[in-house]
């Protein structure tokens, strides 16, 4: 039982990976036979070991596919709401979209004190996209993998925010925008001055020169920590939530009593996880707004 449970967990935590297996790699087929690759081969990984052997030359097809698909779905939904918008009595869907936009717009006005028309749309995109990716965690863990398994697809993770590649991709993009607008608003000198002259700033030029390396060290660490913490916070919370769903799912195969208990626990955790899903999307959005505000403000 322990062995099958371990395999079950590993299977559900493995991404559908496409990458290059090196020449000479001994590949195990579904029927148990093996063969050695004569040349470098681009293919879908059949096992977690193959995904690891692909190394950096690999792509998580499921994470990219679901994240892009959810973004396209959001674009369709918002476009439909915009086309059907009316100045009269709004429909329920239009009312819901207006509430979301007003909520985000108010948070931007309260937090961002610069002048940049990009920030509000960016916040809206971040919140809704992260929320939709997190929301996938409420689907039963076995439904989609079982369906795609009928077509010979070995793995399928449907929650993109449980993949650090996705969360780091978003956080690095926010970080790059923060650096860009910092330099654009303050200039190279102003941006460098914030790194070199903070937090220790004195009027004596000779003493200030002594503090410059210390300031650079401290401020660089603080700067680099922003995208890392932004990515890991979202990934860690969603990965832990998915792991709990998987562990609860194991109870359904352990007898009637544990199966019933598992159903109750799954329902309770799903209700609580709705708060986690929304909160993590909100935190990611708010930190994005804060970082953009920092890029437009001088100390």
Compute the distance between CA of residue 162 and CA of residue 236 in angstroms, rounded to an integer: 8
For the question of residue 233 being annotated catalytic, the response is: yes
Q: What is the largest CA-CA distance in the chain?
A: 76
| Candidates 63, 134, 237, 293; catalytic one | 237
Residue 170 to residue 229: CA distance in whole angstroms = 12
Q: Active site includes 27?
A: no
Of 4, 106, 146, 229, which one is the catalytic site residue?
Answer: 229
Q: Which of 5, 116, 165, 233 is catalytic?
A: 233
Give the DSSP letter string of 124-170: HHHHHHHHHHHHGGGS-TTHHHHHHHTTT-------GGGSHHHHHHH
Handedness of CA 271, 99, 132, 285 (dihedral sign): negative
**Kind and range of the H or E element at 296?**
helix 256-296
Q: In 3-state terms, what secondary structure has residue 19?
A: strand
Query: Counting Cβ atoms within 10 Å, is residue 175 exposed (0-12), middle (13-18) or buried (19+)?
Result: buried
Contact partners, residue 10, CB within 8 Å, separation at least 6:
48
Q: What are phi and psi of 35, to 5 degrees?
A: -150, 150
With residue 58 as reference, give the H or E element that holds it.
Answer: strand 58-60
- Looking at the DSSP bridge assignments, the partners of residue 20 are 42
Q: List active site positions.
A: 229, 233, 237
């Amino acid at each position: 039982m322990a062995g099958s449970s371990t395999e079950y967990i590993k299977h559900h935590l493995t991404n559908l990976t496409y990458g290059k297996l090196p020449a000479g790699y001994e590949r195990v087929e579904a029927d148990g036979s093996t063969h050695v690759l004569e040349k470098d081969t681009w293919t879908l990984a059949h096992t977690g070991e193959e995904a690891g052997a692909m190394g950096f030359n690999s792509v998580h097809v499921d994470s990219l596919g679901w994240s892009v698909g959810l973004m396209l779905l959001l674009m369709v939904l918002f476009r439909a709401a915009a086309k059907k918008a009316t100045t009269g009595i709004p429909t329920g869907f239009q009312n819901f979209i207006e509430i979301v936009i007003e909520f985000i717009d108010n948070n931007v006005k309260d937090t961002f004190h610069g002048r940049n028309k990009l920030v509000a749309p960016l916040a809206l995109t971040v919140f809704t996209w992260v929320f939709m990716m997190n929301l996938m965690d409420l689907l039963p863990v076995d439904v989609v993998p079982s369906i795609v398994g009928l077509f010979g697809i070995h793995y399928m993770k449907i929650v993109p925010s449980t993949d650090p590649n996705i969360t780091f991709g978003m956080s690095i993009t926010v970080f790059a925008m923060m650096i860009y607008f910092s330099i654009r608003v303050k200039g190279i000198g102003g941006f460098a001055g914030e790194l070199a002259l903070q937090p220790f700033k004195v009027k004596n030029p000779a003493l200030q020169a002594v503090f410059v390396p210390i300031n650079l060290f401290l401020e660089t660490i603080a700067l680099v920590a922003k995208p890392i913490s932004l990515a890991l916070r979202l990934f860690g919370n969603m990965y832990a939530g998915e792991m709990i769903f998987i562990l609860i799912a194991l109870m359904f195969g352990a007898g009637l009593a544990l199966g019933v208990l598992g159903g109750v626990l799954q329902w309770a955790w799903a209700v609580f996880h709705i708060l986690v899903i929304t909160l993590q999307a909100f935190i990611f959005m708010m930190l994005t707004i804060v970082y953009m505000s920092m890029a437009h403000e001088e100390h």
